[in-house]
Amino acid sequence: MLTFLLLLIGSGAWAQQGTVTGTVTSGPDHVPGVTVRIKNKTTGTLTNANGSFSITAVPGDTLVFSHMSYQEQIYVVKNFSPVKISLDGLSKSVNEVVVVGYGTQKKATLTGSISVVKGAELVQSPQPNVSNSLTGRFPGIIANNRSGEPGYDGSRITIRGLATTGNNDVLMVVDGVPGQIGGLERLDPNDIESISILKDASAAIYGSRAANGVMLITTKQGQTGKPVINYFFNQGFSSPTRLPKMADAATYAQIMNEIQYYNNPAGGMNQFYSAEQLQKFKDGSDPVNYPNTDWQKATLRKMTTQNQHSLSVRGGSDNIKYYLSIGMINQNGLYKDGATKYNQYNFRSNITADVTSRLKVGLYLSGRQEDRQYPTTGAGAIFRGIYRAYPTVLDRYPNGLPTTGIENNNPIMQVTDAGGLNRNPSQVFNGILKGSYAIPGVEGLSLDGYLSADKSWNFGKNFSTPYKVYTLNKTTGAYDPTVVGGSNGLPTLNESQENVTMITSNIKLNFARHFGAHNVNAFVGYEQSKTSDELFGASRRNFPTPQAPELSQGGAAATDKDNFGSSWNFTRRSILGRLAYDYQEKYLLELQARRDGSSTFPEGKQWGFFPSVSAGWRVTNEPWFKPVKFINDLKLRGSYGSLGNDNVGMFQYFNNYSFVNQYVLNGVIQTGIDLTKLANPNITWEVAKKMDLGLNMTFLKDFYLEFVYFQQKRSKILTQRNSSVPQLSGIVNPVGSDPLVPAENIGKVNSGGIEGLLGYTHTTKGGFRYDISGNITYAKNKIIFIDEAAGALSYQRQTGRPMNTYLLYNAIGIFRTQEDLDKYPHLPGAKLGDLILEDYNNDKQITADDQVRSKYGNIPEITYGLSLNGSYKGFDLFILFAGQTHVSQYVLPESGTIGNFYSSWADNRWSPDNVNGSYPRVDERASSSVNGGRYPNTFWMNNASFLRLKNVSLGYTIHSDLLTRWKVSSLRIYANAFNLLTFTRVKDYDPEGDSGSGQFYPQQRIMNIGVNLKF
Amino acid sequence: MKTSNIICGLALAAAGLISSCKKDYLNIVPTDRILGSAVLADSMLFQDYIINRYMSIRLQDKEGEGTNPGFGRGFEYGLWSSISDESIYNNDDNTWVIQQGQMAPENTGIAGTIWGRSYRSIRECNFALNNIDSVPMSDGLKKKLRAELRFIRAFRYHDLIRNYGGVVLMGDKEYSLSDNLTNPDMFKRSTIKECIDYAAGELTAAAADLPLKNDGSWLLGRATKGAALALKARLLLYAASPLYNAGSWQAAADAAKAVMELSQYSIDNDYAKLFLSPNSNEIIFERVYAVSARHVCLEISNGPNGYNGWAGNTPLQNLVDAYEMSNGKPISDPASGYDPQNPYANRDARFYASILYNGAPYRNSTIQVFTPGGKDSKDGPSNWNTTKTGYYLRKFMDDKNPIDNPWDVAGLQPWIYMRYAEVLLNYAEAENEAVGPNASVYEAINQIRQRASVKQPPLTPGLSQSEMREAIRRERQVELAFEEHRFYDVRRWKIADVTENTPAYGIDVTVSNGVYKYTRKVALANRAFKTKHYWLPIPRAEIQASNNQLEQNFGY
């Protein structure tokens, strides 16, 4: 489908230097910024705003036209008549090459399920966190953004949903290094050339780490030709997508009265606030004593800022090519006078050199500084404070002094640096030295390899300082201070340093050759890696002064000092290979295998074998298919393979005893030892058998379609026997820390589903290029075996149901009348206004046997996206909708006398005065209320389906001679918005969250404006 | 692996990139944990292991705040007293489910962790007991440590028995994951009598080899002979009680007497200070704490809202009414001089040491639970933290600790598992039941009443056996308030269906023209107790794990 449009006019004189002029177009558009260079010479230029160029050449020279968004094009100079070059956009190209595991492959001959996104698409709507850029773009990727806190605002990415009860993390491979330290999230999107997502058995080449899918991130490399300097700036304005509306003071005061009434009905309805007091809350006549505080407004800004700069230069000669970049990201927190900040500085230097025609080397160096700064109170606690804090309490007195808020936690102070700072600067360095050598004597035989060194340094310094909050003493009129923060009224310091190193080396022997119509591409390789982690830290208490926040300046007593430290090592060793064969690019076959050894497992169980096979048939390459005109390209493909998951805790193969020093004798803490992990001497891999059947098609010239059916059987899932082991055996797991029982290879999960992608791309005669595509993923999983109690009830078992479901009582209404109470079986002491829980097993009482499993968990079964890409003249437009359905989220707010209520509950609560309320009566504490945490029920489970306008971006590329005069080859200005609109039935919080209490730093809606300059 | 060697060699030769091709590349030795064999090979490490058996694991949120829990519940946010008629936990937090009679196998509130915690500790003790012979150390030390382990294990059974009745006895069995964990034999519950006999026998054996006192070689916090005997005395008292009906009062009296005859313990002069430091001669066995290994900061979690406290465990009127007048007469006695409108005048000194009431002096101020305007009432600051009962907890509170920002400072009071006053009360009760109110019964009770800081008049001579029984019960209620006794006492006496069905009363104090008006009120509605609640339910998950082979307690 690649078309060369060479318009050669006549033929002229030979071997005579002259000027070649011409224009470069793509469809009807002129393309500025195309690098035009002469092959094997240093001469080069760029097309101007009108796509025109002029270059000095001699006949016989080969002009190379290159641009990151288009297929490279060549033109052999014959004479000096103006030339017209037409470029093809990359996405349509059959010759497009995609990065696959340990190599590249022509997209046309791919046999695996691999989705690719180009860096150029990511920077169209830049995110400080790359993981947020992947949502909705292609089928099979489920990315859920759970928090918007600067520095921790990534999306949880899963490929084709959940497939194991164990770890579902995708393996990130950056520039060929599996699990590169630093990962994907904090890469500068401008540095990314492409991301390939291996969703099926094509990932098997990554063996024991491939089961959850693999993402291959490739950074930009140099290009031969005149250097291109690219400057990119983005200014963002972010605000929460949504925050729950909370009850106002008058409502909350009334609720307090109701709670007291339920605790002691004899006391009547005004046990807490009299009618006059309620009136004062209502009319605001005494705002100091009867305030109506909006804690969100008091603590949070409406909007905060973030920006990104990136500057790169890309160029090279035929022998040395380079890509150099620096970048910077600044993000501010949402808090008023807040201490939260994220700053990132990154650099990259990717240099490749052809030492001889056979020997090539490359050095890839990158590093970044990630400066995270937070108040000493964490985001979870701050938002807990904001949602709990009572509207009936002032945030500040009229004289500006902060109040004690809620139990001396005043969110407006907690967000600031008044209580000290928690700084977590960390640095990441990645260095890769690559080499390849074409072995003489055998055509197509080559050796390549790399040595990579990754290192991260994570520093933490948390200095907590005391500060004052105030209480107005109503009798004396004085503001009594209370010292909070620090400890014992004095500062405390915690400092720690964690260094992680990973050394990976790899060597491969490759063979690639055509034998007539037979193409062979194969390699065998060896790889090993060692990861070391070292951590140490110290704490000090009772600092005499906050002026000297150093370990050396802390309290002098022995009990003021504490230290800690730990380290671990982890090694892997692998042998791997691939054989790809095709006949005329028509019949495609690929075999892959990897043998992996891992130090996680005991000797004798360390090695696992992971083979895969895939095949494809390009039907349209069959001569007999030619008459079918409306199908331009059709490929059928399939793959099957065995992949592994070794993402479990180390050293589970022997009984672990650890020092836990807590018991005190005679006032002194004793050295103590606990058994912390029982042995599983047989621990080994989790195995995934993946099957994938797919179809890729282009039809009616402009339509493209992909359809995949996939199936996966996970077995030997490493999971703990938590439920079937009776506690009286003495094998009992603690809450909130590592279980005593080891992981055992006992779990089984089957999953499967379909992926579909349909797109239409077209350029009108008027020059309007557009591309509309929609994608959908349906991924369902079913637990085949999970450890469950022998006596678990059939309808409560997880076996046979999807993972992550909830076990809840069915709430079927509210007791509104005495007849209701008489009619329905109910809990002892049930009252009017309580939820009616369904007597599911009809035993006339409500017990745990009436709980039922929910249909869905909080990972969606169905995700979909719809994107529109358009350009006209200098304008470009990108719109992306992303949505999810078949998903549930349970959220029970921490309400009661313990904290404020969502107004949806407060305003619609059942009460003796509002017997038609749609929410149950209020209670002391939702978490232990019969209507809440004590009998967790479906009333608090929401259908978390949503459709979101994830991304809208509008850009304009200015073509102007003025710019040309300033050596600016292109200038693009743009505006875009992230998470702009959300359509959902969830009322109070962002449906993408996964917090069961709703207390988290909310997802952000980000508006960006930016500019992209090329010189 | 031949191919791997070839490739590995090739790699080295070709690129020189491979940092290591060592054969043991994949064999990593951990540096942050040790093998069980190492623990058994070193007597110091083995003793480090034993020391931690005085604790067990956390099994619930808000349990083991600061450090892991020991025996029973101890100092936590919600005290065990708040599931009895002594106090209520102001903010529920899974205590009201028990107060309101909704406790069920799936909803055990704060009382669901004793089962698992105890059995885990029993298994850990058995590992040590089964292997101690191979540990290189002197026979003398082995003997002491064996006794210590058997004491700890017996204490776990004590925790199990008094909550669940007859439980499964493990002996020295140490289950492993490769055992058949569905074997029906595993789930056979022994009778209460069998359990008591086993635990008492273990304690007798432990007492024989445990040191008589704590000293430089047996530090405070480790069990002594007296601890083993006192625990045995408590168990035998329980066994003789109506609910258990599995022992004799005489045996219980003898067991208590054995502790008294050790002559190691005496009644502390100061009832208030007794609970603040670990060094009282009255304490028989306790859990001690330190900075960095503390328990809940009691002052902030229980203090009045006017002092920035959170009013956690608030005493009930039900308990307040049990305190006699300082003349030794109960308030129900018309001759006592009790004035309902001046209710706190002239009460038993232990009342002032245990409960903060309207007008009580506290930290340079006085408690104001009155409305309107009282700083410790709903009209005070942080009014969501005000008491529902009209009282705040005084016992255990150390005024030296700050209320604001106490973290890393407070939480150091010892949790007293057993003290001499209890032994005397145990003796008095058992002796009164066995032979009647003889002089030794009076002597035991009066020792407690005559404590220097208490000075309650001696019991009136000539009480009948049942009058003495009532007196002893009242004395226990008052003397041992909030110490995890009342919950079990009302059950073993089988009076819980009365006491625990009495509404949870508090007091309403209003002021007008400087005159206080006291009105009883219900502090928490719907208090309820059903017969089945005499024993705790075994957690539902445990019954299911046993495939319903483990017999649930009656009524659940």
> Which comes out higher in pLDDT, residue A996 or A185?
A185
Give the model's confidence band at A186: pLDDT under 50 very low, under 70 low, under 90 confident, else very high. Answer: very high
> Taking 50 as the threshold, does the pLDDT of residue B7 lie above it?
no
Q: A402: which DSSP letter? A: B
Distance CA B275, CA B297 (A): 14
Assign residue B66 a region (left: φ > 0; alpha: ψ between -120 and 50; beta: otherwise): left
Answer whether B217 touches A (CB < 8 Å).
no
Is B222 in Cβ contact with A658 (below 8 Å)? no
Kindly determine whether residue B293 and residue A675, on different chains, have CB atoms separated by under 8 Å. Answer: no
Chain B's closest residue to A933, CA to CA, is B94
Beta strands in A101-253 (DSSP E): 103-106, 114-118, 141-145, 155-159, 171-174, 177-178, 192-198, 214-219, 225-240
Nearest to B52 among A568, A663, A930 (CB): A663
- The helix (run of H) or strand (run of E) holding residue B229 is helix B225-240
How, if at all, do strands A941-943 and A862-872 pair? Answer: unpaired
Distance from the Cα of B441 to chain A's closest Cα (Å) equals 34
Q: What is the mean pLDDT of residues A336-356?
A: 95
Put simply, the answer to whether B30 touches A651 (Cβ < 8 Å) is yes
Q: How confident is the model at residue B21 (pLDDT cuts 50, 70, 90)?
A: low
pLDDT band at B2 (very low <50, low <70, confident <90, very high): very low
pLDDT at residue number A874: 85
Query: At how many degrees (to 10) do helices B192-209 and B139-164 cross?
Result: 150
Contact of B386 with B367, CB cutoff 8 Å:
no
Q: Is B546 on the interface with A (CB under 8 A)?
A: yes
pLDDT digit string, tens, across residues B474-512: 999 999 999 999 999 999 999 999 999 999 999 999 999
Ranges A101-115, A464-478, B159-173, most confident: B159-173
B328-368 pLDDT, tens per residue?
Answer: 999 999 999 999 999 999 999 999 999 999 999 999 999 99
Backbone angles phi, psi at A671, to 5 degrees: -65, 125
Task: Retrieve residue A702's tokens.
Answer: 């402009």
The DSSP annotation for A817-852 comes to SHHHHHHS---TT--TTSEEEP-TT-SSS--GGGEE
Other C-beta atoms within 10 Å of A5: how many? 12
Q: Which residues of B touch A746 (CB under 8 A)?
A: none
Check pLDDT > 50 for residue B13: no
For residue B283, what pLDDT is reported? Answer: 98
**What one-letter code names the amino acid at A592?**
Q
Q: What is the pLDDT of residue B298?
A: 97
ipTM: 0.94
Q: CA-CA distance, A586 to A618, in Å (whole number)?
A: 5
Predicted local confidence at residue A12, as pLDDT:
39
Distance between CA A281 and CA A288 in Å, rounded?
A: 10
Q: Give B1's pLDDT tier (boundaries 50, 70, 90).
A: very low
Q: What is the pLDDT of residue B484?
A: 97
CB interface of B with A, residues 434-473, below 8 Å: none
Query: DSSP of A68-119, one letter per residue?
Result: TTEEEEEEE--SSS-EEEEPPBGGG-SS-EEEETTEEEEGGG--S-EEEEEH
Interface test with A, best of B114, B177, B183 (most A CBs within 10 A): B177
The distance in angstroms from the start CA to the end CA of chain A is: 32
Residues 6+ apart with CB under 8 A from A523: A102, A103, A508, A509, A510, A511, A577, A578
Q: How confident is the model at residue A368 (pLDDT cuts 50, 70, 90)?
A: very high
On chain B, the residues whose CB falls within 8 A of the CB of A662 are 52, 55, 67-68, 293
Residue A218: how many other CB atoms lie within 10 Å: 20
Confidence band of B63 (pLDDT split at 50, 70, 90): very high
Closest-CA residue of chain B to A899: B384
How many residues are recorded in chain A? Answer: 1015
pLDDT of B432 reads 98
**Contact between chains at A487 and B45 (C-beta distance less than 8 A):** no
Question: Stretch B44-71: mean pLDDT, rounded?
Answer: 95
The DSSP output letter for A947 is E
Say whether A487 and B25 touch across the interface (CB within 8 A): no
On the question of pLDDT at A184 being above 60, the answer is yes
- pLDDT class for A69, splitting at 50, 70, 90? low
Does residue A94 surpass a pLDDT of 70? no
pLDDT tier, A43 (very low <50, low <70, confident <90, very high otherwise): confident
User: What are the chain B neighbours of A595 within 8 Å (beta carbons)?
Assistant: 4
Per-residue pLDDT tens digits for A647-704: 888 899 999 999 999 999 999 999 999 999 999 999 998 999 999 999 999 999 899 9
E-only strand ranges, B239-305: 283-287
Question: In this structure, are strands A214-219 and A171-174 parallel, antiparallel, or unpaired?
Answer: parallel
Query: Is residue B265 a contact partner of residue B259, using CB atoms and an 8 Å limit?
Result: yes
Tokens read off for B313: 């465990």
Per residue in B436-478, pLDDT tens? 999 999 999 999 999 999 999 999 999 999 999 999 999 999 9
Q: Provide the percentage of residues in chain A whose pLDDT is more than 90.
A: 71
Q: Which of B67, B404, B547 to mutate to test the interface with A (most CBs of A within 10 A)?
A: B404
Supply the pLDDT for residue A4.
33
Chain A residue whose CA is closest to B62: A735
Q: Do A569 and B28 touch (CB under 8 A)?
A: yes
Q: What is the 3-state secondary structure (H, E, C) of B397-442?
A: CCCCCCCCCCCCCCCCCCEEEEEHHHHHHHHHHHHHHHHCCCHHHH
Distance CA B333, CA A208 (A): 80
What distance in Å separates the CA atoms of residue A63 and residue A82, rounded to the nearest whole number?
13
> What is the pLDDT, as a whole number, of residue B443?
97
Residues in A closer than 8 angstroms to B187, CB to CB, are 726, 728
Specify the DSSP element, H or E, that contains A1014.
Answer: strand A1004-1014
Residue of B nearest to A525 (CA): B7
In a 3-state reduction of DSSP, which class is residue B277? Answer: coil
Judge whether A993 and A1003 are in contact, CB under 8 Å: yes
The CB density around residue B138, as the number of other CB atoms within 10 Å, is 9
**What confidence score (pLDDT) does residue A142 get?**
83
State pLDDT tens for residues A526-581. 999 999 999 999 999 999 999 999 999 999 988 889 999 999 999 999 999 999 99
Provide the H-helix boundaries in A393-525. 411-414
Q: For A74-92, what is the mean pLDDT?
A: 78
Stretch A840-852: mean pLDDT: 94
What is the DSSP code (8-state) at residue B109? G
Q: What is the pLDDT of residues B252-289, one digit of tens each?
A: 999 999 999 999 999 999 999 999 999 999 999 999 99
Q: 255-284 in B: which are within 8 Å (CB) of A? A: 278
What's the alpha-carbon Rg for chain A, to the nearest Å?
Answer: 32
Average pLDDT of the segment spanning A881-903: 93
Scanning every residue of chain B, which has its alpha carbon at the shortest distance from the alpha carbon of A272?
B378
How far apart are alpha carbons A514 and A521 in whole angstroms?
A: 9
Inter-residue contact A973 to A936 (CB < 8 Å): no
pLDDT given at position A8: 34
Mind listing the pLDDT tens digit for each residue in B170-228? 999 999 999 999 999 999 999 999 999 999 999 999 999 999 999 999 999 999 999 99
Q: What is the pLDDT of residues A696-724, one digit of tens each?
A: 999 998 999 999 999 999 999 999 998 99
CB contact under 8 A, B542 and A404: no
Contacts of residue A897 in chain B, CB cutoff 8 Å? Answer: 91, 384
